Amino acid sequence: MPAKVLRGDPLQVSAVADSLEFQPRYRSDVIAWASEDTPSAGEIERTLAEFEETTWAGLGPRRYP
């Protein structure tokens, strides 16, 4: 199964990163399950929410892509 972007805007992230002069400009993260796993939509949503809460601690959703 091909990867799917579930949150964020890859084009926006690329545009902002390409405008920066320092290195490294950005990082990306992947959350993946094994092909035999079948997480429910709720499990995926909770995982993404917890990831964002940890990664972007203290920032509101409008402050990160």
Largest CA distance in the chain: 42
What pLDDT sits at residue 65?
74
- Cβ atoms of 56 and 48 within 8 Å: the answer is no
Question: Using CA atoms, how far apart are residues 56 and 63, in angstroms rounded to an integer?
Answer: 9
Model confidence pLDDT, tens digit, residues 6-58: 888 889 888 888 898 988 877 778 898 898 999 999 999 999 999 999 988 88
